[in-house]
Structure formats: structure tokens, C-alpha cells
Chain A
Amino acid sequence: EPEVTQTPSHQVTQMGQEVILRCVPISNHLYFYWYRQILGQKVEFLVSFYNNEISEKSEIFDDQFSVERPDGSNFTLKIRSTKLEDSAMYFCARGEAFFGQGTRLTVV
């Protein structure tokens, strides 16, 4: 069983729509992260979560993005008003060792 599970595995959305990506870590950890990887490019840091609060966020993580831990275990990454350039793989990670399988977001 994977340490971190992400859903959905693939999401297609129209430009301007809101999407919610979900991450379920198997066990608890102090640090959780969201990264993204645009096709053919490097993995980029978005935001980190420490002790249920945002501890660090990148320049990419602007007002369009938000993260929540609605029930104390699952994590969600919400992207409001999606743009074409938001198309990427989004990875949730527990610490540095465990990455989820990713959600491929395609904005059309």
C-alpha cells in the first residue's frame, strides 16, 4: 500500500474552473508538501505544511492556490480559476521520502 495516495490520478478541466486535488497520507508526519511538474520541466515546490499550518510557500503559490487539511488527515490543494499554464503533474509528498503517484491536471 502506498505511503501517500492522491486522487484523482487524472483531471481534465476547462479554463476558469476550480479544481481540488486530494492527498491521503497513510501515517502521520510533521511535514507535507505539494510540488508540481510541468511536462518536460523540473519538479517545483509549491507549499509546505507543518503541524497543520502553511510553513513555506513559493512564488508560484499565489492567491489562486490554497491548501487545507479539512479532517485532520487528508490534504487538499485547491486551484481557483485554472489557467492553461496550470497543466502539470501535481505531487503530494510526506517528508522527502514519499511522493504520491501524482495527479495529472490538464486545463483545456
Chain B
Amino acid sequence: QKEVEQNSGPLSVPEGAIASLNCTYSDRGSQSFFWYRQYSGKSPELIMSIYSNGDKEDGRFTAQLNKASQYVSLLIRDSQPSDSATYLCALRRAAGNKLTFGGGTRVLVKP
């Protein structure tokens, strides 16, 4: 079983719609969870971090965490063509520990 699993996509979303991305993980000791956006050939860019069960909203983005079910998700509302990118889920056990990344989900927002 992969440590962090994401559907590779592509996830095709019409402009203005909601994009829903999921991530499951195997390490129950994981404490911190992160979503990154990565454009082709560029470095990961942190969008959201979440540490507690439940929802966390930041602008058009909402992260959801369920530690019992070992999944974390990201919703992108009012998707824009500029949101077209690969979204990486990452986690770590404790502050200062390494990040473990999933393979990413490619999102295509069509005008």
C-alpha cells in the first residue's frame, strides 16, 4: 500500500464548478496535512495546511480531514482556468519531520 495515495486524474472541471480532490494515507501517526499546487516544471506551492479533524476554509479552498478514515480532501470552489495544475497531498508525523507526498492529481479547468 502506498503511503499517500491520490487519483492521478486528469480531473476535468468546467469553469465555475467545484473540483473535489481526495487523498488517503496509511500512516496513522501522521499529524499534519498539506495541499500544494504545482504547475508544470515549477516547485510546489503551499495552498492549505490542516491539523485537526473537520473542515478548514481559505478563500475558494476548503480542506477536510478525517483521521479515523485516514483521508484528507480539497475542494476548489468557483474553479478558474488558472487552477489547472497538479495538486499534491503531503503529510508529516511531527513538526520538523519530512514531508511525504502523494503522486498528485492533475486538474484541468475548461473555460
Report yes or no: B98 in contact with A91, Cβ–Cβ below 8 A.
Answer: no
- Structural contact, B96 and A50, CB atoms closer than 8 A: yes
**Is A85 close to B, CB under 8 A?**
no
Determine whether the beta carbon of B42 is less than 8 Å from that of A101.
Answer: yes
Q: Check if A101 sits within 8 Å of B96, measured CB to CB.
A: no
Q: Let me know if A48 and B98 touch, CB within 8 A.
A: yes
Please state if B88 and A43 are interface contacts (CB–CB under 8 Å): yes
How far is it, in angstroms, between the C-alpha of A33 and the C-alpha of B55 when the chains are bound? 28
Is there contact, CB below 8 Å, between A97 and B46?
Answer: yes
B43, A56: Cβ atoms closer than 8 Å: no
User: What chain A residues lie within 8 Å of B43 (beta carbons)?
Assistant: 89, 91, 99-102
Q: A34 CB to closest chain B CB, in angstroms?
A: 10
Docked complex Cα distance between A93 and B49 (Å): 16
- Which residues of B are found within 8 Å of A45, using beta-carbon distances? 98-100
A residues within 8 A CB of B99? 33, 35, 43, 45, 93, 96
